[in-house]
Structures are given as structure tokens and as C-alpha cells.
Amino acid sequence: MTTVRNLRAISDRFNEVIEEFPVYRSKDVPFSWRSVKEINADAVFHSDRRTRFQQGEIGNCWLAAAIESLRQESNQEAYNEVVQVNGSELEFSFWHPGPHRRSIKLDSDAVPTRDGALVFIHNVEDNEYWGILLEKAYAKWVGSYEGLEGGFWTDAIQSFTGGVVERIKLGKDSMPDNLFDIMLTSFQNGSDLCCIKKDPRDTEKYHSCCINIMKIEEDNRKIWVLDPQSQDCNVWTYEEFINEYHRLDMCHKNLDNLSGLQGRNIGSSPWVSQTFCLELENLCDEFTIELNDTDDDQEGCTFVVELVQKIKPDDEDKLNCIKPWDALVDLELKVGDEEFATKYPQETHCFTMQPGTSDIRVTTDTEEHGSIYMRISSKRKYEVKRKE
């Protein structure tokens, strides 16, 4: 049974709307804070999650696309963790790679408006407002709505689900030959998918669109894509899709869906993960991993390494950048003899090695950076130690 959560208890508590944080930090833009119940007397926080949310004035298609992904049935459990209403309390809980989730409380249900209309994300139909207030919570986390300009879908969807991120650059020379099968398997198994395209007017800018909220048709190899800005639904053949978009991003709640692991017989045991906060004061942190077992196919032991840059501030942190992604640093991951340069908030790589001890090394070229974490996962016995 679907429970309708209305905003009466919340709105009754806030007779005066208080501006909690700046909408813009670098410029003055006229707006007013208004309660969602003032905007729409029939507003409900949540009914059946069928409401679509459309990108507003700021360039945060990545967040709008992630909110669209969160409202899908495959993300019901994640939605219940992220979006919480306790009586008159509004709270949003985000995953991050530290020891606990990050909780953002809203002191009111007011949102920025201009001439009585919503400025940023707004609902396309119906009267649900949870997505609009989720955007507000994310803006509060980074310090302002302006800070949401030009972010990463992977950052938002990982904050919602805690899944492991994978990026595949599209193009005949850079993508797997079986990419459609990878997409289909991931889609069918509940992974979140997003496609990225370059702005034809500015190739330094990118636009994020949703895949998993629509569908992938196996028989005729068609892919349905929703644009969170225009709300247009485009249907592409697979060949059209790989020519239209620049990159495919995926977030896997089940690591078996990683492209490098699909089709592998690595066993049915659950994945076991460990997370380490990297100590990069000397621009380097080194570990050893001891592998004690092999996969069922006996080719070696498979494990996954993900680097995550925590680019949003905690309460005690100073916010030096309006856009937290401006604080991203270049990293280099070396596992055994394999080396990878990383430049995104998340980077994931799969490895298969023989039982024994191997080295893991992470380096950077700057002393100024936020918290950087390494998450290691395997279905087999392993032990990770930091080198002295």
C-alpha cells in the first residue's frame, strides 16, 4: 500500500520562512523563499514516486538525472534511506565513503522562487515535492545552489545508493565490443545507467541523460533515453546511441554487473568491502593486499579497487570552492604492474591476480586536496595492510 506523506505538519511548523543558505555565492540574483504549500496548496511530499522532475535554471542536469534514477522501483531501498520524513522533520541521508552516512536536515520546506514560480528543479506533473527538496538538501550540502553547476551524475547517484561507479567512453576504438550486452545485463539487474553527451556549442560542457528510467529493448537493440532538461524521450538504435553520446556511466549496487566481471565465474559468495581513508601528506600512500584464494574458474583471485574523492564539505570544513568539483585532484593508481591515471570523483578498476601478496600504490601531485578514499572489494579471502 502506498503511503501519502503530506507537508501539513512541516508547513505548520514554519510560519516564517528563513533563508538557510545563499542561493548564489558569487552574485546577487533576485528571488524569494516560499513554502511549497504556498506554491501549491495540494502539494504532497511523497505519494507513489511517479512524478518526474525537470531541470531548472542552473546547469545541474547530472543531479536531475540522478533524482530521476532514484525514483525507479529498483532503487526503492535506496530511496527509503535517502528521503526521510519524521513527523515535522525533513532529513536526507547521503552515502559517502567514511564511517557513516551524511545527514542533511532542512529547517524549512521553503525553496527559491521568482515571480511565484520555482527557480530550480520542478515537478513535471502531479504534486509531489520530494525531488525538489532533495535538490535543496544537496545544495545545502555543497553550500549553495550555485555550487550544483556542472557536477557529476556518478557523484549524486553514488551518494544516493552507495554503488560502485563505472565509466565507459563511447567510440569504436575505446569501448568493449559487447557493450550492448553489458548495458542490457546491467539494466536488467538493477544498475543505474546514464549517458553523457558534449554540448555542441561548448565542447568543454557535458549534458547528462537517463537510461534506466526508460528501457532497453533486447530484440531490436533500441535504447530509450530521457533528457532531464527538456523531458524529451529519445529512442535510439544501438548504433545511433554510440554515435550520439560521449560516455556511458553506470552505478552498480551489485559488483557482478561491472563490465570486466560479466560472464566471469568468480563464485556466488557475497562481496566483502573495506574502505581506507588515504594518507597523502607525502603525496603517496602504499598498501599490500594478500590474496588467499582463487575464483571458481581458477584463473586467479578477482578484486575491485575504487578511488573516491570526497569533494563535499563536512560541517567543520572550510568551503574554499563554490563548486566542490573544482577541488578535484589528479591521482594515479598502481596495482602490481598496472597503472591508471584518474581524474574523476570516482574511478573503478577490476584485477585478477594469483594468490600471494601484491602492492597497491596511490599518488597525487598536490598537497591540497579533500579526503580521498580507497574501497577494495572481493568475494575471496584477502587482507589489506598499509605499508609503514
pLDDT in tens, 232-253: 889 999 999 999 999 999 999 9
pLDDT band at 173 (very low <50, low <70, confident <90, very high): confident
With H, G, I as helix, E, B as strand and everything else as coil, classify residue 386. Answer: strand
Work out the average pLDDT over 263-270. Answer: 87
pLDDT of residue 14: 43
Nearest Cα to Cα of residue 88 among 30, 29, 37, 149: 37
Query: pLDDT tens digits for 8-21?
Result: 444 444 445 555 68
Work out the average pLDDT over 15-34. Answer: 77
With H, G, I as helix, E, B as strand and everything else as coil, classify residue 158. Answer: helix
Is 266's pLDDT higher than 80? Answer: yes
Work out the average pLDDT over 284-289. Answer: 97
Cell numbers at 75, concatenated: 532503487
pLDDT of residue 344: 92
Task: Output the DSSP codes for 83-103.
Answer: EEEETTEEEEEE--SSSSPEE
For residue 91, report the phi and psi dihedrals to the nearest 5 degrees.
-145, 140
For residue 160, report the phi and psi dihedrals to the nearest 5 degrees.
-80, -40
pLDDT band at 131 (very low <50, low <70, confident <90, very high): very high
Query: pLDDT tens digits for 320-365?
Result: 788 888 889 999 999 999 999 988 999 999 999 999 999 999 999 9
Work out the average pLDDT over 297-325. Answer: 81
Query: pLDDT tens digits for 269-280?
Result: 999 999 999 999
pLDDT of residue 72: 87
Level-2 CATH architecture, domain 265-386: Sandwich (2.60)
Work out the average pLDDT over 107-133. Answer: 89
Work out the average pLDDT over 281-289. Answer: 95
Cell numbers at 280, concatenated: 597523502
Is 210's pLDDT higher than 60? Answer: yes
Work out the average pLDDT over 291-317. Answer: 84
Rounded CA-CA distance 201/303 in Å is 41
What stretch(es) of the chain map to CATH 3.90.70.10? 164-255
Helices and strands per DSSP (H, E), number in the chain: 8, 26
pLDDT band at 379 (very low <50, low <70, confident <90, very high): very high
pLDDT of residue 316: 58
Cβ distance 356 to 291 under 8 Å? yes
pLDDT band at 87 (very low <50, low <70, confident <90, very high): low
Rounded CA-CA distance 126/26 in Å is 34
CB atoms within 10 A of CB 348: 25
pLDDT of residue 15: 42
What stretch(es) of the chain map to CATH 2.60.120.380? 265-386
- Percent of the residues in the chain that have a pLDDT greater than 70, as a whole number: 90
Q: What is the CA radius of gyration of the chain?
A: 22
CB atoms within 10 A of CB 143: 19
Determine the residue type at 225.
V
pLDDT of residue 13: 46
Spatial strand order of the sheet with 32-35 comes to 32-35, 110-114, 117-118
Is 7's pLDDT higher than 60? Answer: no
Q: What is the CATH number of domain 164-255?
A: 3.90.70.10
pLDDT band at 201 (very low <50, low <70, confident <90, very high): low
| Burial bucket for residue 250 (CB in 10 Å: 0-12, 13-18, 19+) | buried
- Mean confidence (pLDDT) of the chain: 87
Work out the average pLDDT over 285-308. Answer: 92
